[in-house]
Structure 1
């Protein structure tokens, strides 16, 4: 009887309402613990300064790659309260050259340990000065090769076959017939001259094999015989020889004092009147005034430019009014795949610096 009495008491105590309240309390306690744990984890993550999220900065999906490793603050919010964030920021993640790494910004970041740049070009970074502050500089050279090489070939083909002009005629409401005299240039079997046979230049040479192109290249250092044979490339020690013989000249060099204005009046005058200049490096590698004149007077046939100076060009710039120029938006690396790889590599570099680990892609001052 006593056992039955106890059983009834237990049943009464643990009716459905009490069980529900007990479980609810347990769940709330668990949720509070989880939120507290999450908050602690967030506070333990280092801070990174970025340009912004959206059209002028990182796509939302790219910030999702950053957030597991860093607490992020956008430049606009940082500038509104630099005293709040300045001492927290340990990593500056530079995307499309922003935020601009200027002394005024660096002096407001006393805890900064690394400037992690997305991309291979570092002409916008004063590496010696940044390094003198005890801050490491990194970049992402390996991940941009394929997309940039694709872009070079896209510009080459678009210019040669006058794709943009043809599109404009095709969609023009005034078009009533197809002009039979609309002609482009043959790419297959043509001579391709590559100035700057580094990682990207070599990828361009590989792609040109599919068009049976004869490949010439000029570089500071000659590549191995094996590399040359693999893409059928011939080395030109003198750049002038390459300019004289090439049907298409592609520029794939870093912007340095030596390469600024590399292609100007004299170099353009050496090219064939039927030749095309393609630039996927930096706008300042080409003297744009000289290029305008060469295109206007027929010294060369056309140009394909993914880069200009400045970017974008002023709306009244003469290059914009020429029909024999294809200009894009410095989008050589702008694919979803490459952009994700670039951000991941930026994070790997930055985290390595903060943890004192070997840095995958460090840029050391010269």
Structure 2
């Protein structure tokens, strides 16, 4: 199995896929790290390991990390490229303006998971078709403890006064799709009280096996939770969902882990709540925008465990999503259809979870 891939293509692509194609890949630069591992394929230098395969089949493959602005390398190729490959770790934002310019665009592949870098409403309006395809140790202990070690200090009390066990705590996931369900299953051995909120209730047998309780009303679930894990897609409904008012419904001292997308959170509301101590800990590696600017408030707020967006880009994951991209491209070149269940946008209609 390969990691989920997102693609967007024009409805006629399966009838017009013959001939050499212009393919643009947008990845991050690995620089001096590029040669340290032969399987490091998710970067500009590695180019997903598909350059020779593409070029030997008569396709033109351009790879860059330059994606922002009208004078970027990506922008130079917008009008005549047929395929765009990008990643959630260094996303090329497929805006309404770019969709309008991309007259030849037939396919957009995301090497990773997520579709929020694509304007889905604009894609639907343009009648494109698309496919989308825990570890909860408290950062309150790990990061301050590490800082003590490297600074030559030893102050257990400075950490222990706000450290808790996970066992017996109430953990709620906002979103119970594939990742949310896996989270619930993996937390069961920790003897947590497990809650979940989603637009659809999961299979009753699995729900019983896990011991998770469905919460139809998010506002009812939030004040019950010691830990909240966000696993919902970024949509127009979830963008900015966790604002000042929503955070105020949570317990004081809540820990939030964001496995989804940074834009689901109100950036300043999170920073303010961490600064006041209302949020005891905020962790994740998803930001908005990405890369995060140097003055992003989450870099400097207290009680956070933020990292660059690296969770889905291990060497193993890179090999999976590179394989997935190659598989999707191979289907595309052969004019083969894609599995129905994998569509995000089909003939102008958004999938249910994105409406």
Same fold per TM (> 0.5)? yes
Change (3 A) 1:120 1:85: closer
Structure 2 match to 1:73:
62
Give the Cα–Cα distance (whole angstroms) in 2 for the partners of residues 178 and 58 of structure 1.
Answer: 41
Structure 1 match to 2:26:
51
Contact 1:117 1:137 in 2 (8 A): no
Change (3 A) 1:104 1:222: closer
Kindly state the Cα deviation for residue 236 of structure 1 after the two structures are TM-superposed: 0.7
Give the Cα–Cα distance (whole angstroms) in 2 for the partners of residues 238 and 124 of structure 1.
Answer: 28
Change (3 A) 1:80 1:265: closer
Contact 1:283 1:308 in 2 (8 A): yes
Structure 2 match to 1:95:
87
Kindly state the Cα deviation for residue 133 of structure 1 after the two structures are TM-superposed: 5.8
1:75-154 equivalent positions in 2, closer than 5 A: 75=64, 87=80, 89-96=81-88, 98-102=91-95, 110-127=103-120, 129-130=122-123, 136-139=129-132, 141=133, 153-154=134-135
Show structure 1 runs of 5+ residues with no match: 1-43, 142-152
Structure 1 match to 2:146:
167
Kindly state the Cα deviation for residue 356 of structure 1 after the two structures are TM-superposed: 1.8
Contact 1:249 1:278 in 2 (8 A): yes
Q: Of the two structures, which has the highest relative contact order with CA contacts closer than 8 Å and spacing of 6 or more?
A: 2
Q: Give me the CA root mean square deviation.
A: 3.2
Give the helix-richer structure, 1 or 2: 1
Specify the structure having the higher radius of gyration (Cα). Answer: 1
Is 1:241 the counterpart of 2:208? The answer is no
Contact 2:78 2:98 in 1 (8 A): no
Give the Cα–Cα distance (whole angstroms) in 1 for the partners of residues 122 and 296 of structure 2.
Answer: 34
Give the Cα–Cα distance (whole angstroms) in 2 for the partners of residues 83 and 294 of structure 1.
Answer: 42
Aligned pairs, number:
307
Give the Cα–Cα distance (whole angstroms) in 2 for the partners of residues 355 and 164 of structure 1.
Answer: 50
Give the Cα–Cα distance (whole angstroms) in 1 for the partners of residues 76 and 271 of structure 2.
Answer: 48
1:208-247 equivalent positions in 2, closer than 5 A: 208-247=187-226
Contact 1:113 1:354 in 2 (8 A): no
Deviation readout 1:6-35 (Å, 9 max, x if unpaired): xxxxxxxxxxxxxxxxxxxxxxxxxxxxxx
TM-score normalized by structure 1? 0.73
